[in-house]
Chains A and B, each alone.
Chain A
Amino acid sequence: MLDIVKANLPALQVVVPLVAAPICAMLGRGGRAWGFATFISFLTFAISVSLFSATYAGQPISYEMGGWAPPIGIEYRIDGLNAFVLMIVSGVAALVMPYARRSVAVEIPAERQAFFYTAFLLCLTGLLGVTITGDAFNVFVFLEISSLSTYALVASGAWRNKRALTAAYNYLIMGTVGATFFVIGIGMLYMITGTLNMADLAMRIAEHGDSRTLRMGFVFIFVGIGLKLAMFPLHLWLPNAYSFAPSAVTSFIAATATKVAVYVLLRFMFTIFGFDYAFQASTLENVLLPVAIVAMFAASLVAIFQDDLKRMLAYSSIAQIGYMLLGLAFLTPTGLVATIVHLFNHAVTKGALFMVAGCFVLSAGTSSISSLRGIGRDMPWTTAAFVAGGLSLIGLPLTVGFISKWYLVQASLELGWWPVALLIMASSLLAVIYVWRVVEAAYLQPAPEGVTRREAPLSMLVPAWILVGLSIWFGIDATLTTTAASRAADTLIGSSQILWQE
């Protein structure tokens, strides 16, 4: 029995939350749906931890869906990179679920909570599926499962603020345009190669060589995924979606959805198109590099002028995605490590910060910074968590943010691009300003009179502090994350250099 489970772990990773979702919808009102969904999220986390430890030695796992051998059948392929991303996604889900109970209780009407958790599990299924699959079209299907449930989850913020509806609508329009671009791109690749399996695609593209169809396919995929991951000029859906979604949803999707999209970009660029593909390299240098740098500055500047805490953090997310894309644009092993390490580091930091924002919403009823005056005295633990997370966002030593920036600066200096290194540090200073605005309001300004705000409940504080703790722990001892990230980078480079020789 145990052997069967063990042999089918890759399938179970996706099937468990998928099957659990409709069951969750049938559990009705009360805490049962929540308890069940939490149990499932712990189970998926356990599965991804065991998959991660199985691939830690460097041997990828290939699983044939339904016993059909690739490239005909759908293959689930787990290597160093996606095992790492799987663990981030399911780990954040396992922390957000305990957090969600109290937060959802005030934000969603009781009779709709079961459906809320159903959508949450479907979103988790989609994100895990995108990450684990080795089939290009399968990526599209899972991407849409996760996106459609995210639209519903964002819209469920409408019970608190009706603007969640228009935020979800705009996200839906842009997300669908992105997904359709992506599927056109896959169609072009299929036209050239006649296959959808990623490893097979890579091999056949290498044999096929350069062509206009290939270039168009690459551009469609690049722009489509760019929309999904909120690459700078395509980020317009993100601020509203993050600000008006329920707090638990924001901390989950902010920590995972864009990270998974970055993973898809990495996978397509490096495993499928190969590392030395000249057109791709010039796109990275001439398009992605400026876009990433502009994102770092423009989004941070806009964040400074936001009055709403969630909205400010949302703009900060766009800037942080800029850092990830910057690491990618360097096109060096160190840059790649920086991107992958930052995937984890930003997931931990932003997850914690959005959880803190959710605590403020629960106690103060709002997340506007001006109404958070003097809240440091009323909610010391929550505010302290914000400060610790904020320091990591800035990139102070002894936090994970520092590790990411260290690798980014190192990668830019390796190339001799010292202006870029200076820009990375300058943009961190902008983060100091927007984090400071909140700290100033929370600690230095007097509380408005006649307002009592109670400290957030433990079920919300503990998950937030676990994430904060992780962001400090891996800031002091980054061996585990950086080893995992450099292994992941090695797999990507290793799988692509053999493919493309000019």
Chain B
Amino acid sequence: MPEIILDLDFVLGHYNYWMFVILMMTGLYVTVSRGNLIKKIVGLNLFQTSVFMLYISMGKIVGGTAPILTGDPDTVYSNPLPHVLILTAIVVGIATTALALALVIRIRETYGTVEEDDILKMEHEMDFGVRKPDGGSR
């Protein structure tokens, strides 16, 4: 019997996990690569949202219904615990986003820009008292 190279059922059956991986990597990449402070926060949000997806996926049981007592002993319930955990994580995520946006507002007020490159140039000037030549760091 030939070795199965691509188990299609496995790949398709775990599509929510693939989505988690794609979202997570997209979010992380946006956070790291963008120079705009707001876009970085957008990336961070994507990154955090992917984790919500991971937790909710693992709580799902095939054929399971919402975990509300029905009185019928044969009912299959989804696991409510990951959902509750993710409620907490969502709150943490909102708090982080709110704080990050508040910081960006203050940065915009004091530096007059939300572009990391411009801010780095200004900070370089503060450190060494000279203007950095354009296109220095990136």
Residues of the B chain whose Cβ atoms lie less than 8 Å from the Cβ of A190: 58, 82
Find out whether the CB atom of B54 lies under 8 angstroms from the CB atom of A169. Answer: no
Find out whether the CB atom of A152 lies under 8 angstroms from the CB atom of B92. Answer: no
One of A84-92, A155-163, A266-274, A475-483 contacting the partner: A155-163
**How many residues of chain A have a CB within 8 Å of chain B?**
26
Residues of the B chain whose Cβ atoms lie less than 8 Å from the Cβ of A168: 103
Find out whether the CB atom of A187 lies under 8 angstroms from the CB atom of B54. Answer: yes
Find out whether the CB atom of A173 lies under 8 angstroms from the CB atom of B110. Answer: no
| B101 smallest CB distance to A (angstroms) | 10
The 3 closest A-B pairs by CB, nearest first: A162-B110, A144-B92, A169-B103
Question: 0/1 per residue, A144-166, Cβ < 8 Å to B?
Answer: 10001001100100100011011
- Which residue of A has the minimal Cβ distance to B97? A176
Find out whether the CB atom of B89 lies under 8 angstroms from the CB atom of A155. Answer: no
Q: Does A499 contact B (CB under 8 A)?
A: no
One of A48-56, A177-185, A451-459 contacting the partner: A177-185
Q: Does A172 contact B (CB under 8 A)?
A: yes
Q: Does A191 contact B (CB under 8 A)?
A: yes
Contacting residue for A172 out of B88, B92, B103, B119, CB 8 A: B103
Q: Does A218 contact B (CB under 8 A)?
A: no
Residues of the A chain whose Cβ atoms lie less than 8 Å from the Cβ of B110: 158, 162, 165
**Docked pose: A183 CA to B103 CA in angstroms:** 24
| B36 smallest CB distance to A (angstroms) | 12
Q: Does A137 contact B (CB under 8 A)?
A: yes
Residues of the B chain whose Cβ atoms lie less than 8 Å from the Cβ of A144: 92, 95-96
- Which residue of B has the minimal Cβ distance to A175? B96
Find out whether the CB atom of B107 lies under 8 angstroms from the CB atom of A163. Answer: no
Q: Does A141 contact B (CB under 8 A)?
A: yes
| B3 smallest CB distance to A (angstroms) | 19
Find out whether the CB atom of B51 lies under 8 angstroms from the CB atom of A184. Answer: yes
Given contacts A148-B95, A172-B100, A187-B51, 8 further A-B contacts (CB under 8 A): A151-B103, A158-B110, A162-B110, A165-B107, A165-B110, A169-B104, A172-B103, A176-B48
**Docked pose: A144 CA to B31 CA in angstroms:** 19
User: Residues on A close to B: CB < 8 A?
Assistant: 137, 140-141, 144, 148, 151-152, 155, 158, 162-163, 165-166, 168-169, 172-173, 176-177, 179-180, 183-184, 187, 190-191
**How many residues of chain B have a CB within 8 Å of chain A?**
30
**Docked pose: A166 CA to B54 CA in angstroms:** 31
**Docked pose: A182 CA to B9 CA in angstroms:** 30
Which residues of B, 29-49, contact A by the 8 Å Cβ criterion? Answer: 31, 37, 40, 44, 47-48
Which residues of B, 76-95, contact A by the 8 Å Cβ criterion? Answer: 82, 85, 88-89, 92, 95
Residues of the A chain whose Cβ atoms lie less than 8 Å from the Cβ of B95: 144, 148
- Which residue of B has the minimal Cβ distance to A174? B31
| B73 smallest CB distance to A (angstroms) | 21
Q: Does B25 contact A (CB under 8 A)?
A: no
Find out whether the CB atom of B58 lies under 8 angstroms from the CB atom of A191. Answer: yes
Residues of the B chain whose Cβ atoms lie less than 8 Å from the Cβ of A158: 106, 110
Residues of the B chain whose Cβ atoms lie less than 8 Å from the Cβ of A151: 99, 103
**Docked pose: A168 CA to B103 CA in angstroms:** 8
- Which residue of A has the minimal Cβ distance to B37? A169
Find out whether the CB atom of A166 lies under 8 angstroms from the CB atom of B123. Answer: yes
Known: A144-B92, A163-B126, A166-B123. A187 touches B55 (CB 8 A): yes
**Docked pose: A462 CA to B58 CA in angstroms:** 54
Q: Does B15 contact A (CB under 8 A)?
A: no
Name the residue among A176, A179, A191 with the largest chain B CB count within 10 angstroms.
A176
| B25 smallest CB distance to A (angstroms) | 12
Residues of the A chain whose Cβ atoms lie less than 8 Å from the Cβ of B40: 173
Find out whether the CB atom of B106 lies under 8 angstroms from the CB atom of A173. Answer: no
**Docked pose: A172 CA to B97 CA in angstroms:** 10
